[in-house]
Structure 1
């Protein structure tokens, strides 16, 4: 028996519609939440310290043998995502050889950017890791920045970076498919436990509640953001929280490009927990 279910929770605003009804106990559960950026949650899952977690999609594609996917729950976009942005001091098409500052907290978005800037807009830039917000506050101005999550929402109108590439929008324009940035996983070694299956059903109920109450979610989230409730609603409505046929197809196409780039050795089968 599990006294509590250890659940990884990405600490970004975009997943609040999924977690709010669970964290506020509008939907009863025995979850113990662990908060952090995707890279940290990936590590905790790999070490067996979590039962279920939202993780970057590249983490699943790299280590699919360790996990099962939670059905019909994801975080992605089918068009502008707004919170995964390349911002630049020069036009994107003129960025050949340019250095892009990339957060160490993202793996999926960094891989997507590299695919887009070699396959779709072939400028083949260079990449370096760093903290964009800290550098900007110190007065430095990198040539270009890959900003994700709340940082992207805060920097998207920065006056020194007039040129932008929304990675979700670019992917859809190129492939015609949604892009899935994050998925929810269960460790394979606990996936057959009845308490885990019940936890997965509860998680899906949370997602469905959040989707049905986007106006309320927008108001609550705006209190913690520089965005207004209307801007927050626009942001939420541009996101994909489902993992159905089109989203799965988009994930598979991403996996094929990861294999082409040598980021994964093979395109794995997508295995879902049976609930």
Structure 2
């Protein structure tokens, strides 16, 4: 049975602070007042931490976070963030041809565990290179007295740095994965806390809320493009190309791509086992938790 205090707390929904999820969240943001939910903003790693700590009910989270803690979550059906080719906002930037990076150190970000894991797989298995990694801020390190030879940039930072003159060699990790496997790559998923389900926190279907936000964004892309243009990362034509290259659904091909990623992580020793993809069903789970 739900505790009264919990019922009064608004539904807490994690929102990655990146441009790529604007089409999903904009309608939720403009309708948030008096809606019974609140949005909590942060980079992927922070939302992972908040979900694992039970401080969020639903969140966009790294694909690898679901793999590592699948027993804590259900997946939101038919919702994801990924690409079927170039993603533009997850890129390896290098001062020398990528094929010559053997023995070099690559700067990676702590903000996205999935992108860093994908980079390790691509460098090891796709390029066959033995490299090392260190963590830090790409924007800060580029301006230091000893800028990295190669770095991983993600999200809005990647959109800002992707044409940096110091780094003429670039690998779009979404495109590299597609060339390697022939499949979409799912960088992020939306998860529902099993503890929140057990506590009866969902009077309304959180999945329908998020799916509705995505569908609104797809139907109002002119509005989304106008809002995105304020960030001044890309021209309007580039924004059209950017959003067109993103995947916001979790169909069969996307699920196959996600399972392939998990299998390769197991092969690389980065996961003990690949998790099952278990999706939330509001009608079923509401019946199970009814007092």
Quickly name the TM-score band, shorter chain normalised.
Answer: over 0.9
Aligned equivalent of 1:207: 214
Per-residue CA deviation, residues 49-73 of structure 1 (Å, 9 max, x unaligned), is: 0000000000001111110000011
TM-score, with structure 1 as normaliser: 0.96
Relative to 1, partners in 2 of residues 1:26 and 1:38: Cα closer, same or farther, differing over 3 Å? closer
Which runs of 5 or more structure 2 residues have no equivalent in the other structure? 1-6, 283-291
Aligned match for 2:69, one of 60, 63, 70: 63
Query: What secondary structure, in the 3-state scheme, does the structure 2 residue paired with 1:80 have?
Result: coil
Aligned equivalent of 2:11: 5
Q: Find the aligned partners of 1:109 and 1:194 in 2 and give their Cα distance.
A: 32
Q: Find the aligned partners of 1:243 and 1:96 in 2 and give their Cα distance.
A: 36
Aligned equivalent of 1:154: 160
Which structure has the larger Rg? 2
Q: Find the aligned partners of 2:203 and 2:64 in 1 and give their Cα distance.
A: 23
CA contact (8 A) 1:88 1:164 kept: yes
CA contact (8 A) 1:103 1:130 kept: yes
TM-score, with structure 2 as normaliser: 0.91
Aligned equivalent of 1:102: 108
Which runs of 5 or more structure 1 residues have no equivalent in the other structure? none
Aligned equivalent of 2:276: 269
Query: What secondary structure, in the 3-state scheme, does the structure 1 residue paired with 2:175 have?
Result: helix
Deviation at 1:104, TM superposition (A): 1.2
Deviation at 1:27, TM superposition (A): 10
Relative to 1, partners in 2 of residues 1:20 and 1:28: Cα closer, same or farther, differing over 3 Å? farther
Q: Find the aligned partners of 2:203 and 2:244 in 1 and give their Cα distance.
A: 30
Relative to 1, partners in 2 of residues 1:262 and 1:174: Cα closer, same or farther, differing over 3 Å? same
Relative to 1, partners in 2 of residues 1:196 and 1:260: Cα closer, same or farther, differing over 3 Å? farther
CA contact (8 A) 2:54 2:195 kept: no
* Structure 1: 4+ residue segments shifted above 3 A: 26-29
Query: What secondary structure, in the 3-state scheme, does the structure 2 residue paired with 1:195 have?
Result: coil
Q: Find the aligned partners of 2:281 and 2:220 in 1 and give their Cα distance.
A: 27
Aligned equivalent of 1:171: 177
Q: Find the aligned partners of 2:250 and 2:14 in 1 and give their Cα distance.
A: 19
Relative to 1, partners in 2 of residues 1:2 and 1:201: Cα closer, same or farther, differing over 3 Å? farther
Q: Find the aligned partners of 1:265 and 1:133 in 2 and give their Cα distance.
A: 34
Deviation at 1:265, TM superposition (A): 0.7
1:245 correspondence with 2:279? no
Deviation at 1:139, TM superposition (A): 4.7
Q: Find the aligned partners of 1:25 and 1:219 in 2 and give their Cα distance.
A: 18
Instruction: Give 1:12-51 correspondences, 5 Å limit.
Output: 12-25=18-31, 29-51=35-57
Query: What secondary structure, in the 3-state scheme, does the structure 2 residue paired with 1:20 have?
Result: helix
CA contact (8 A) 1:2 1:195 kept: no
Per-residue CA deviation, residues 70-108 of structure 1 (Å, 9 max, x unaligned), is: 001110000000000000001111111111000111200
Deviation at 1:138, TM superposition (A): 3.4
Deviation at 1:199, TM superposition (A): 2.2
Aligned equivalent of 1:132: 138
